Amino acid sequence: MTALFTSLNNDMLTPYLQTLPKHYRSLEKSSILIIGNGPSATDSDHGKLIDSFDQIIRINNYVTEGLEEQIGSRTDVWVNGANQGLVKRKDTPDNILVMIPPAVLEHKGDAIHDRIRRRLGTEQYFMLPIDIMEQMEQECSIDRPTTGFFTVYFFYLLGLDVTVHGFDFFVETTSHYFDSPLKRWLKDKGFIRKAGKHNVQGEKTFIEDLIRTKKIKQL
């Protein structure tokens, strides 16, 4: 794994932290929890523990309503890929970070912002520039990573105190914790295809190595 960090590492991206909007610069001294959307996110009643973190980061179509005992109630940063399946939120967080695969950014150019505003329902967001997205994709050697992987990798590279929870990498099931029983069944039977374009096993190995080597923590 070490070879993957020869040109893109904490020393390179930590200074980049100071160029981000004010809220992200404040993360430098914060305990950060990044919550994935895997079914394991709701396996235990960790709500109070989750809400004790300084900053809670959630991804794409996360849900907290009715699940506060399991996954907490607060969302300080919402990271999303502004993808086609993104649901407009009634409880839009103040801090929105958009991460879009480089291939899509190259194809859409500045026109991507019209799509983002339409799908988010707001103009108040910060999008990572294509050069940062390209470097991350190249250095992790994983083609078109998921938004969840990009999120963990990015905040790790910023040199922050990162803990992760609820990242199942679509192993055994391709469903999310907020899916209805019917939707979960349809996904698991292959009627609804998810994650086929992603190297989920590569992502799993990569993140587990960061945990094993204590570069990030697991809840």
Q: Of 1-15, 40-54, 60-74, 119-133, which range is least confident?
A: 1-15
Collapsed DSSP state (helix, strand, coil) of residue 164: strand
% of the chain surpassing 70 pLDDT: 84
pLDDT value at residue 193: 59
Mean pLDDT of the 29-42 span:
94
**Is the pLDDT reported for residue 49 higher than 60?**
yes
By DSSP bridging, strand 77-80 and strand 96-98 are parallel
Mean pLDDT of the 64-92 span:
94
Q: 19: which 2 tokens?
A: 């160029």
Predicted confidence (pLDDT) per residue in 138-176, tens digit: 888 888 889 999 999 999 999 999 999 999 876 666 677
Higher-confidence residue: 7 or 122?
122
Mean pLDDT of the 81-90 span:
89
Mean pLDDT of the 29-52 span:
95
pLDDT value at residue 7: 45
Helical (H) or strand (E) element with 58: strand 55-59
Bridge partners (DSSP) of residue 120 are: none
* CATH no., domain 2-218: 3.90.1480.20
Residue extents of the structural domains in the chain: 2-218
pLDDT value at residue 1: 32
Mean pLDDT across the chain: 86
Collapsed DSSP state (helix, strand, coil) of residue 87: coil
CA distance 28 to 66: 31
Predicted confidence (pLDDT) per residue in 183-214, tens digit: 665 666 564 555 556 688 889 999 999 999 99
pLDDT value at residue 144: 82
CA distance 110 to 21: 20
Mean pLDDT of the 16-30 span:
91
Burial class of residue 104 in the structure, from the number of CB atoms within 10 Å of its CB (0-12 exposed, 13-18 middle, 19+ buried):
middle
pLDDT value at residue 184: 64
Our measurement of the distance from residue 131's CA atom to the centroid of its chain's CA atoms, rounded to an integer in Å, reads 18
The residue among 47, 37, 41 whose CA lies nearest residue 69 is: 47
| CB of 162 closer than 8 Å to CB of 95 | no
**Is the pLDDT reported for residue 6 higher than 90?**
no
pLDDT value at residue 3: 34
- How many residues comprise the chain? 219
Q: 61: which 2 tokens?
A: 């179509």
pLDDT value at residue 194: 58
Residue 118 identity? R
Bridge partners (DSSP) of residue 96 are: 78
Q: Of 5-14, 113-122, 135-144, which range is least confident?
A: 5-14
pLDDT value at residue 141: 86
Cβ partners under 8 Å of residue 106, min gap 6? 130
| CB of 134 closer than 8 Å to CB of 145 | no
Task: Tell how many helices (H) and how many strands (E) occur in the chain.
Answer: 10, 7
